[in-house]
Amino acid sequence: MRVGIIGGGITGLTAAFYLQRAGVQTTILEGRPELGGLSSYFNFGPFSWDKFYHCILTSDTPLLQLVDDLGLTPELRWTETKVGFYSDQKLYSMSSSLDFLMFPPLSVWQKMRLGAGILYTSRIQDGRPLEKFLASDWLKKIFGEKNYAKMWGPLLKCKLGACREEASAAFIWATIARLYSTRDKNSSQKERLGYVRGGYRTVCLKLVEEIERMGGTILKNMPVEQLISTADGGLDVISQKQCLHFDRVIATIPSRPLLQAAPQLSPATARKLTEIKYLGIVCYALVLKRKLSPYYVTNLTDEDLPFTGIIEMSNLISGEETAGRHLVYLPKYTAPNDPLFAAGEEEIWQLFWKNLKRVFPDLDPSEIEQKYLFRERFVQPVPVLHYSDLVPEMQTNVPGLLLANTTQIINSTLNNNAMVKIARQAVTHIVESSSNPSAPSPVVAGDEISDAVPVTQ
């Protein structure tokens, strides 16, 4: 059995790793010169780190299992991180219960309602019934209009930009549940976040090393243009340079390029693939000579800021990782047709810099050692009402073609834990159906990966 994997991001690399371990011959076809996709790394000069910011949660079980399977558990580091809020032109800490009680922008009544609402939300076990409510309506009902205007509305904008009015309440539930899951359960309820030393560079390089050691093939600069079904039930995978034949193919790429490459997908699948909208990201990464704040994430509730959060990576990772520099990301989640994707870097920088100065008035341009702009158009699928009905099945109507991409994360923010789950589910499907081709499609048996995407409807 030969399996082709389209896309060399974390999903494609993980699928190849576990398939090779199961004795299946794999070939990854990656369109770009580098592997890792959204989790790829960048050479910042004095150090390398992720192009986009990543953290690991203590509850990221499948991801931590992958880290362990790669022998990287000794490289894991955990940090108690702090959260900031920039509200009414002031920066506040929101890292402890005391901070919460002292938080001036909300009245005592609003805080009581906020606390009770979060407790209520964190106890909801199944978020799917919330898919029928718009997040904005539900948040106003649970937390009140004022809390929505002061906190939740701006926070939704941070996560979903202009699409916030389309999101369902299940997305908010999943986000709160995910963040709560990494709190220290024993004592302080403090947030603990992790990373692998060297960042996702370490993880990706180790995946590549292991895949190649086990006999897998990785082809870079190989954008796949066409998938042609063949009489033997397999697929020819065509790029400008080569035509390769596989018995099975796992597509981990965004939905639009997949649809272009495989017009034989059924109208029902095609509809699902086109109906799910993506948000893109425009993100500045700054290498600074000094710390900006004590917070890993600063949430912004002043709606007119052009970026949707401030992520101070150096408050999560050790200074050794960044050669003593401070790494800060300024992301903006926005629609793929936002003019920012075509705008010149200097124009975007002037906009971001002017507003960064509002938050940190004493920051001097001489304290910025380097700045880099990263843009990606298809990043976060928008978790609209009844999202689970839109999620495409893993096993498509095209014989041999499996889909394992980010649209299959149900109602949560994009995260690698979910993608590792989905990759493993595709692997299990291939391994089990190849050992017994007449067996019904398996939904992954009895472990924590079974709640991912439906294999078939």
Ligand X SMILES: Cc1cc2nc3c(=O)[nH]c(=O)nc-3n(C[C@H](O)[C@H](O)[C@H](O)COP(=O)(O)OP(=O)(O)OC[C@H]3O[C@@H](n4cnc5c(N)ncnc54)[C@H](O)[C@@H]3O)c2cc1C
Q: Which residues contact ligand X (rule: CB under 6 A)?
A: 6-12, 29-32, 37-39, 52-55, 223-224, 252-253, 257, 281, 283, 331, 379, 405-406, 414-417, 419
**What DSSP string runs through 267-296?**
HHHHHHHHHS-EEEEEEEEEEESS---S-S
Contact 361, 421 (CB under 8 A): no
Farthest-apart Cα atoms in the chain, separation: 69
Long-range contacts of 182-189 (CB under 8 A, 24+ apart): 182/57, 182/58, 182/59, 184/80, 188/96, 189/97
Residues listed for the chain: 457
Instruction: Give the nearer residue to ligand X in terms of CB position, either 53 or 103.
Output: 53
* Distance of closest approach, residue 110 Cβ to ligand X, in angstroms: 29
Q: Which is nearer to ligand X, 223 or 454 (CB)?
A: 223
What's the CA gap between 244 and 239, in Å, rounded? 9
Which residue, 150 or 164, is less far from ligand X as judged by CB? 164
Which uninterrupted H or E stretch holds 137?
Answer: helix 135-143
Distances from the Cα of 64 to the Cαs of 40, 73, 156, 403, 408, in angstroms? 18, 8, 28, 23, 20
CB of 153 to ligand X, least distance (A): 21
In angstroms, give the least distance from the CB of 37 to ligand X.
Answer: 2
- Indicate the residue among 142 and 250 with the shorter CB distance to ligand X: 250
Please state the closest distance from residue 369 (CB atom) to ligand X, in A. 21
Of 211 and 379, nearer to ligand X (C-beta) is 379
Tell me the Ramachandran region of residue 230: left when phi exceeds 0, alpha when psi lies from -120 to 50, beta otherwise: beta
> Which 8-state DSSP code applies to residue 443?
P
CB of 98 to ligand X, least distance (A): 26
Compute the least distance from the CB of residue 405 to ligand X, in Å.
6
**How many angstroms separate the CA atoms of 182 and 194, rounded?**
10
